[in-house]
């Protein structure tokens, strides 16, 4: 549909995230649905378990599993909101809240050796979701 309208989301080609309105010729920018995108990211991450960032650093699902296990073993839960159900996401694919909890910014601060890329990934996705799911740049309330 985006291509038919004149946009191009091929990042290796002529990337163009807008199309021209046929009458006014003003650009109309296309944004993906933030809730759907965060679920897709969680599903991809949970399926493949290891992703690689632009610096060839690994983003690892195992760090999330380690946090959940540590919390379960100690009986103490950090501010991450991460629970076992978040790691067993397959039956909860459509729940945005669980997808967001697993990418929570507090989770991104967990102190595990070599977890920097994973922490940065979680923090970035969390912050991007906040930007695309807010009413204005100063808003703290979601839509």
- pLDDT for the residue 51: 97
pLDDT tens per residue, range 99-109: 666 556 555 44
Residue 92 lies in a domain: yes
Same domain, 55 and 109: yes
Convert the pLDDT of each residue in 49-92 to its tens digit.
999 999 999 999 998 888 888 778 877 776 667 777 777 777 77
- Same-domain check for residues 23 and 42: no
Q: Count CA atoms closer than 13 A to 3's CA, side-chain side.
A: 4
Same domain, 13 and 39: no
Considering the domain architecture, whether residues 4 and 51 belong to the same structural domain is answered as no
Asked whether residue 60 falls in the same domain as residue 16, the answer is: no
- Predicted pLDDT of residue 76: 75
Query: Is residue 141 one of the residues assigned to a domain?
Result: no
Q: Provide the whole-model pTM.
A: 0.70
Q: Which two tokens stand for residue 14?
A: 């002529």
For the stretch 28-42, pLDDT in tens is 999 888 889 989 999
Domain identity same for 38 and 26: no
Comparing 113 with 109, which gets the higher pLDDT? 113
Domain span at 12 = 1-30
Closest CA to 61 of 23, 88, 34: 88
Residue 139 counted as domain residue: no
Residue 74 lies in a domain: yes
Q: Within a domain: residue 87?
A: yes
């Amino acid at each position: 549909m985006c291509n038919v309208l004149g946009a191009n989301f091929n990042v290796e080609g002529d990337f163009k995230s807008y199309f021209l309105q046929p009458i006014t010729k003003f650009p109309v920018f296309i944004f993906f649905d933030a809730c759907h995108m965060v679920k897709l990211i969680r599903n991809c991450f949970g399926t493949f378990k290891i992703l690689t960032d632009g610096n060839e650093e690994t983003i690892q699902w195992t760090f999330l599993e380690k946090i959940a296990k540590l919390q379960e073993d100690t009986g103490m839960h950090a501010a991450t909101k991460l629970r076992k159900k978040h790691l067993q996401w397959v039956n909860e694919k459509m729940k945005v809240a669980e997808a967001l909890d697993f990418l929570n910014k507090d989770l991104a601060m967990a102190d595990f050796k070599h977890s920097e890329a994973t922490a940065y990934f979680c923090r970035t996705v969390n912050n991007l979701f906040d930007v695309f799911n807010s009413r204005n740049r100063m808003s703290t309330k979601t839509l």
